[in-house]
Every structure is written in structure tokens, then in C-alpha cells.
Amino acid sequence: MTVTERFLKYVSFDTSSDEESETTPSTAKQKILGEYLAKELCEMGVENAHMDSDGYVYGFIPASKGLENEPRIGFIAHMDTSPAVSGENVRPKIVKYEGGDIPLSETVSIKLSDYPILADYLGEELIVTDGNTLLGADDKAGIAEIFSAVEYIINNPDVKHGPIAIAITPDEEIGRGADKFDIEKFSAAWGYTIDGGELGEIEYENFNGASVRLTVNGINIHPGSAKNKMKNAALLLSEFISMLPESETPAHTEGYEGFYHVCDISGNESKAVVNIIIRDHDREKFENRKKFIENLVSYLNGVYGEGTFVLDMADSYYNMKEKILPHMHIIDSAKEAMEKNGVTPKVVAIRGGTDGARLSFMGLPCPNLSTGGINFHSIHEFIPVKSMEKMTEVIIILMCKD
Ligand SMILES: [Zn+2]
């Protein structure tokens, strides 16, 4: 099977995850694809290929003779798609890009003016949607590329390689892909998630993240007789929010600039609550941002009375860079593998978190590589066929010992 055939098969499975669900996987339908993938690995001759009760698919390829002591390298992708856009009844089309806009349906098109990146793919075959759903290249392209590389390795016994481990996780899109990942079973020295965007991307820096929940306790009295007595929680909360640095929000930052993001507020005179997330690539600046929030709260409690502002702040995840830096050969190998294939590596900092970051802190250094897909989580999502083929070759080189 070609990587494109594989990909088209996988996107026919609806595997949206669901943030509201408390089960693992969050949606039972993910296991239907999981079972299919485990069977496919089995049929290729991958050892111990199976899906566990949480929907994680694992498989192992023993080393070529004489290379048993080489480090085991892991390759990871995720089977779920973002719940933000429907993944039901995906009807992909392959179009040859001749320039201009790409019509997806009578009313929807991928506009060159919105996505000037299209110009880079002139003359190439692109897989697009019918304008009603996402495509699911995030991350079924990652699975198709890894599986096609595995097939090549198994069908070409002359190609020398060390031990290889494969894992396909559920629920990455809702931040739970690492939750039940069995690091011990996987037992790799390092890994790559194949879950990035444009061909050539290498990511090993992500945000440090913390979440803040601030509760304001007010005192409510009939507004007619409230003078010098009412403590309006809604107004106190807005005072707190007005003290956050105006330019340090997601709408005013990019690259390595961190931010405070007010996600939602609710409340009345008696009680008001705000949820905020803090993000920064730099650990020291991240700690300073948390300190800033603590200082604001203690200042305001000084003014309005202890217990008026109640702060609940917790770290969500950390920048994986500190776990990758001692093993930069992982990044160098990825760059080399890309260059050998005429792909220009481009190191980009993720303005978010990744499962790879969490795995890195669980003991499996795990940067993220491109799939070749573009416009993830959108009806405008597409992937160039050639990019998938190139990434398959990149993965083969990473698996091999030359
Ligand atoms: Zn993804």
C-alpha cells in the first residue's frame, strides 16, 4: 500500500476525541481505528502488535542481526482528530494545484489570499476536504508515514536497523495522549512524534504553562443602602484584570513572547471567578509571571482585606527543551535525515504544549517532526502527496543504521 492509500483509508474512520468525556479513550470510536491499526501492524509482521484496553496501539521491530545493542528508537503519532471541527464522513479529494483558489464545494474554497503558502505547491497533488469536515492529516498523515516506513523496513531485510518501537495514542487533541502511555513497555531511548505541520518542521521547544483560577469574594447588600458596605466582587475582579500587562496577551505576542490569557470570567456582586493561563518558553520568565500574579493578589488583599482574592495556581506543563538539550543528536539526526531527502529543516518553537513535551518529562526525550499537513483543525486542511512521501523517506532514514 502507498502512503497515500493508507492515509485515505485512515481518514475514513471518524475519530474525534471529546473533552467532556471522562473515559479512556474519550470516544469509543477511536478504538475501531485502533483495532484496524494493530491488525495492520500484525499483518506486516511487526512483533507484539496490539491495542491495550485504553486504546493505545503498540508494536515492535527487532534489530537487524548484530545491531541488538543499538538504542531503541520510538515513533509516535495520534489517532484522534480535533473535536473543534467535524471528522464525520470525511470525503477527501486529490487535486492537482494549478494556482489560484481551490474550490472545495459550491460555497467553500481554500483562498490563495488567505493561505499564500499554497503558492509553494504549484503543480503538486494536494489532498483536500469537501469543505464540510476537517481532513485529519493531523495526525493520520503521521500514522500513514510511520506505517509506510515500517512496511519498507520489514520488506527490505538487507536494510540494517536497530530496535524500533511504534505507538499510536488516542486523545492527543484533548491533551491526554500521554496520560496512559506505557513508557516502560515502549522502552525506547528516545522518540519522535510525527505530528507537526509543514514539511521540514522540527519542534523541540514548547511553552511552559500554568493555569490560574482566581476567586473574588464580595459582600452584597441592597444597592440602595450599600454605601461604604458593599464589596462588589465583579468590580474587584475587573480591577485585577485591568492590572495585567495590556500588551502581553495572545493577540499581541508571537515567537518567543509569553503572555497572560484571560480565558473566561463569570460572577456577580457576591462572587466572581476568572480563569487565566500563563505561557512562556523561558522558565525564568515563566516563574516571574507566576510571581507577578501572586504579588497582585497579595497587594489587592492588602487593600480589600485578606481572603477577598483567593488564588489557585498550578503548573500544567514545561518546555521540553531542557530535556532535549542534553541529547541534541536526536535533533541533528532529524535534520540530517531531512537534508538527505532535499527537505530544508526548519526549527520552530511551539506556541502551545505537546504530548512529546510530557513524554520528555516522563523520561522519553521526544521532539516533534512535520507530517507535511497544513491548516490543521480546519475545513481548509490539506496535505501535499509529495510531502507525505518525503516524510516517509525521512522516517526510514531515521530508523536505519547506515
Ligand atoms: Zn496532532
Return the pLDDT at 14: 98
Q: Is 172 a catalytic residue?
A: yes
Cα 14 to ligand 1 centroid, rounded to whole Å: 15
Pairing of strands 102-103, 57-61: unpaired
Residue ranges of E strands in 131-240: 164-169, 190-196, 201-205, 208-217
Do residues 377 and 134 lie in contact, with contact meaning Cβ atoms separated by under 8 Å?
A: yes
Residue 164 backbone phi and psi in degrees, to 5: -130, 140
Return the pLDDT at 354: 83
Domain ranges of the chain: 3-206+320-399, 208-317
Cα 199 to ligand 1 centroid, rounded to whole Å: 14
- d(CA 233, CA 150) in angstroms, rounded, equals 59
Cα 82 to ligand 1 centroid, rounded to whole Å: 8
Cα 326 to ligand 1 centroid, rounded to whole Å: 26
Return the pLDDT at 353: 81
- d(CA 141, CA 369) in angstroms, rounded, equals 12
In CATH terms, are 3-206+320-399 and 208-317 the same topology? no
- 387-401 CB burial, b ≥16 within 10 A, e <16: bbbbbbbbbbbbbbe
Return the pLDDT at 401: 82
Q: Is 280 a catalytic residue?
A: no
Q: Which listed CATH number (3.30.1490.20, 3.40.630.10, 3.40.50.620, 3.50.50.60) goes with 3-206+320-399?
A: 3.40.630.10
Neighbours of 204 (CB within 10 A): 28
Cα 371 to ligand 1 centroid, rounded to whole Å: 9
Cα 172 to ligand 1 centroid, rounded to whole Å: 7
Name the CATH topology of 208-317: Alpha-Beta Plaits (3.30.70)
Which among 59, 79, 148 has a CA at the least distance from the CA of 396? 148
Which segments in the chain show pLDDT lower than 70? none
Cα 304 to ligand 1 centroid, rounded to whole Å: 45
Cα 224 to ligand 1 centroid, rounded to whole Å: 55
Cα 236 to ligand 1 centroid, rounded to whole Å: 39
H-helix or E-strand containing 280?
strand 271-280
Cα 321 to ligand 1 centroid, rounded to whole Å: 19
Point out the catalytic residue in the list 54, 80, 151, 203.
Answer: 80
Please enumerate in sequence order all residues whose Cβ is within 8 A of that of 69, keeping only pairs 6 or more positions apart, or say none.
Answer: none
Which residue bears the cell 491499526? 37
Cα 173 to ligand 1 centroid, rounded to whole Å: 6
Residue ranges of E strands in 86-243: 93-96, 102-103, 109-110, 125-128, 164-169, 190-196, 201-205, 208-217
3-state helix, strand, coil in the chain (%, to 5): 35, 25, 40
Return the pLDDT at 381: 98
Point out the catalytic residue in the list 172, 248, 381, 393.
Answer: 172
Cα 303 to ligand 1 centroid, rounded to whole Å: 46
